[in-house]
Amino acid sequence: MKKKLTIFLTASILLAAVGMETACTKGGTLTTITGSRYTITAAASAKQLVPAIDTSSTGSLTGLYDEDANIFTYTLSWNDLWKDSRKDTITSISFYGPANAGANGQLVRTLPFVNPNKAGSINLGLSGNNGLKGNEINDFLAGTYYFTVNTKRYGTGIIRGQLSVQKQ
């Protein structure tokens, strides 16, 4: 009886380990969990802010949205957010909508994120309680959302990028 229990427990642990291994990514390509998915991209700059600010700061966002699972995972990159003589710190990433380029929308989500580097990248996501809900999903998929990277000095954004949505 003990031998059967030991074999059963060992097999269960091995199956669980294999399941966790196949569910994890190791920095590779993002893949969908379930059905309909979309590629999300954006090129960001200070010139897209309304009103625009005069900096050479830029950024980009690339990600995937899985509609059935309501999960948006993305990589955000930024460059030259400030000059060394005017050091600043990133405080958050915000999503706004609905709004087309050149117009401001309502704040939809803010993700607190602190980073003292003027250039870098990070992988983030919106899901679960922080995921998109109701009409937000329709507006997001219509490409009427944009993001801002916010800093201590520029609390409403130092760069802005209009999201482009492409169904796969």
DSSP 138-163: HHHHTT--EEEEEESS-TT-SEEEE-
Give pLDDT tens digits for 26-64.
Answer: 556 665 556 799 999 999 999 999 999 999 999 999 999
- Rounded Cα distance between 145 and 142, Å, is 8
pTM (whole model) above 0.85 = no
Q: How far is CA 81 from the centre of its chain?
A: 18
pLDDT tens figures, 111-138: 999 999 999 999 999 999 899 999 999 9
